[in-house]
Amino acid sequence: MKILSATQLKIVDALTIERQHISSIDLMERVAKICAERICSQYTADLPVVVFCGMGNNGGDGLAIARLLSEQNRMVQVIVVRHTEHFSADAQVNFDRLPKSLQATLITVRSENDAGQLHIKENTCVIDAMLGTGINKPVTGILETVIHKINSAPCTVISIDVPSGLMIDHSSGELPDACVQADLVLSLQLPKLAYLFPENKRIVPHFECVDIGLDQQALLEQPSPYYFAERQDIAALLVPRNKFSHKGTYGHALLLAGSSGTSGAAVIAAEACLRSGAGLLTVHSTKQTVDALSYRLPEAMTQTDEHDSFITFCDDLSSYRAIGFGPGVGRASETQQLLKSVIQRFQGRLIIDADGLNILAENKTWLEFLPKDTILTPHPKEFERLAGPSDTHFDRLQKARAFATRYACILILKDTYTHICMPDGSVVFNSTGNAGLAKGGSGDCLTGIILGLLTRGYPPPQAALTGTFIHGYTADLCAEMMSQESILITDVIRQLPCAFKQLESTNKFFRS
Ligand SMILES: NC(=O)C1=CN([C@@H]2O[C@H](COP(=O)(O)OP(=O)(O)OC[C@H]3O[C@@H](n4cnc5c(N)ncnc54)[C@H](O)[C@@H]3O)[C@@H](O)[C@H]2O)[C@@H](O)CC1
Ligand SMILES: Nc1ncnc2c1ncn2[C@@H]1O[C@H](COP(=O)(O)OP(=O)(O)O)[C@@H](O)[C@H]1O
Ligand SMILES: [K+]
C-alpha cells in the first residue's frame, strides 16, 4: 500500500466524496463507526472513555465517535479543546448531534487555566481526536497544556488518525515537545511516513490501518515514492516450483562467508539460503567453517580456502547464478581483494552484507562498478560508514534513496521498518519482524534468504522484497510460539518452511 502526504490525503478525501457520491459528513460518520467498533472490540464496556476533540475534522471524528460509543452504553465524556474560534463545518454538525447526556457533561477548554484544571482519572481510555493531518505548525498554548496532561495521566490513549501534535510527512529528529504519546494509533486507510521512523517510537509504538473505504482509483492516482509492504503484495510475488524441474532449474549459489571465530555467520546464511529455494549451494570458506558446515548442513557443498583464518581467493565464478558475500568474512586485505575481484568478474546476481559492506566503505570507488541491481544490506551503522552520518531518520532515508539511485543498487537499510530502496528512488517499508530479531546472526539469516531467492530465479527487486518480508514474518511466527527474549536465529530458520507455506496459501498459483 502507498504512503501519501497530508496534502495528498486531502485530495483523495475530496475525490472519494465526489466519486462515491457521499457527503463529507457521511464519510466522517463511516470513519467514526469503524473507529468506534475497533475501540469497543479492544476495551470492555466498564472502562470509562474520555474523548478529547479539537476544532477541525479530526475533532469531528472524535465527536461522532463519542456519540456512537454512548449509543453502545459506554461511559463517555467529551472534552472540547477550543484551539480556534470555530469548528469546521462537519465538526459543528457532529457537535450539534451530541446527545443531551453528553452535552450535559461536556467540558470546554478555552484557556490555559481551564487546561490546567483538567483531571484525567486513572483507568480511563483517552480518545485523542484533537489534531490530525491538518496540523500546520508545532503545537503551543492550550493544546500543548492538554497534551502534557494526557501524557502524564495513567491512562490508555488511542489516537484517531494521528497522535495530536505530530507532523506526518517528515521527522523532526527529536520528539516534538507537544505531541500525544499514544498506545495505539488508528491510522485512517494508510500508514503515515512519520510512524516508520525510530525516533517516533514513543509517540507511535503501535499503529493499525483502518480501512475507511477511500476511493481506490484516487489512491492509485496519487504519485508517491513510498510504499508499505503488505502480506498479500508479497504473497503474490511467490512463484511455485515447477513439477518438471530439477536442481539445475533453481540455480547454483556461492556463499563467500566466515573467517576465524565467525563460522556461525556462514552456517546461518547457508542454511537460510537452502531453505529459501536454491537448487545448489557451495560455501567457500575457511577450514574451520567448512568442518562446521559438513557437520551441520550436509546439503551444502564446500570449498576450503588456502588460508586458515580468512578467505582470499575463489577460482571460477561462471557457474553461479548468485553470489552472497560478507557474513563473518572480516576485513583482511586479501579478503578485500577477493571482493574486488568478485565485483570485477561476476555479472550475475550479487548480495553484499556485513564486512563486505565495511570493505566497500573503505573502498568507495568500487561502488561505481557494482553489477546492476546488486543488493546491499547495511544496518544503520554500516550505512553510516558507506554514506556518512545523517541528522534525522528522514535525512537518512533521503540519503539511502540517493545512494540506491546513484549506484543503481538495491539498498536494504535494516531497521524496525526496514527500508528497501530501489534504484528508481522508490522505497518499500517492510512491515514484519520484531525485537526478537535484535540479536547477532539475524542479518546473516536475511542475507541467506535473499541469496536463496536470487539463486532460485527471483529478480533482485522481488528477492529483496520477499526475502525481507519473510525474514520478519518468520520471526513473527516464532514470537507467537515463544518469547522474543528467547528466539534464536536458528529457531527462525527452522520456521522458514511454515512461513513460506502460509504465504503460499494466499497465492492463487499455489492453490490450483
Ligand atoms: N483522510 C480522510 O479521508 C478523512 C479524514 N478525516 C479526518 O480529518 C482530519 C483532518 O482534518 P482537518 O484538515 O480539519 O485537520 P485537523 O482536524 O487536524 O485540524 C485542523 C485545524 O487545526 C488548526 N491547527 C493546525 N495546526 C494547529 C496547531 N499547531 N495549533 C492549533 N491549531 C492548529 C487548523 O488551523 C485547523 O483549524 C484527519 O486527520 C481525519 O481525522 C475524516 O473525518 C474523514 C476522512
Ligand atoms: N526490533 C526489531 N524489529 C524488527 N526487526 C528487527 C529488530 N531488530 C533487528 N531486526 C532485524 O534483524 C536484522 C539484524 O541485522 P544485523 O544488525 O545485520 O544483524 P547481524 O549483523 O547480527 O546479523 C535486520 O534484518 C533487522 O531489520
Ligand atoms: K488525533
Interface confidence (ipTM) of the complex: 0.92
Q: What is the DSSP letter of 110?
A: -
DSSP per residue, 257-304 = ---TT-HHHHHHHHHHHHTTT-SEEEEEE-HHHHHHHHHH-TTSEEEE
* 224: its cell numbers: 508517491
Ligand 2 centroid – CA 446 distance (Å): 9
Name the residue of 437, 439, 468, 484 to mutate for ligand 2: max ligand atoms within 8 A of Cβ: 437
Tell me the three cell numbers of residue 7: 496534502
Our answer on whether the CB atom of 440 is closer than 6 Å to any ligand 2 atom is yes
Distance 178 CA to ligand 1 centre (A): 16
Residue 177 clears pLDDT 90, i.e. is over it = no
Q: Which atom of ligand 1 is nearest to the CA of 130?
A: 17
Q: Quick check: 338 pLDDT over 80?
A: yes
CB 83 less than 6 A from any atom of ligand 1: yes
Residues 59-72: what's their mean pLDDT? 97
Q: Per-residue confidence at 141, pLDDT binned at 50, 70, 90? A: very high
- Is residue 249 predicted with pLDDT exceeding 80? yes
pLDDT in tens, 6-53: 999 999 999 999 999 999 999 999 999 999 999 999 888 899 999 999
Nearest one of 458, 404, 453 to 269, comparing CA atoms: 453
- Tell me what the mean pLDDT of segment 139-167 comes to: 95
Q: Closest Cα to residue 409, out of 468, 463, 460?
A: 460
Cβ of residue 446 lying under 6 Å from some atom of ligand 2: yes
Q: What is the mean pLDDT of residues 80-91?
A: 97
φ/ψ (deg, to 5) at 52: -90, 120
467: which 3 cell numbers? 526475502
379 CB near ligand 2 (under 6 Å): yes
Among residues 199, 204, 169, 211, which one has the least CA distance to residue 185?
204
Atom of ligand 1 nearest to the CA of 160: 41
Mean pLDDT over residues 121-150, rounded? 95
Distance CA 498, CA 250 (A): 20
Does 379 show up as a binding residue in the annotation?
Answer: yes
Predicted confidence (pLDDT) at residue 173 exceeds the cutoff of 90: no
Confidence of residue 509 (pLDDT cuts 50, 70, 90): confident
Pairing state of beta strands 207-210 and 280-285? Answer: unpaired
Is 56 near ligand 1, meaning CB less than 6 Å away? yes
Pairing of strands 252-256, 76-81: unpaired
Which residue segments constitute the domains of the chain, with CATH numbers given?
A: 6-224 (3.40.50.10260), 233-240+249-511 (3.40.1190.20)
The pLDDT assigned to 512 comes to 61
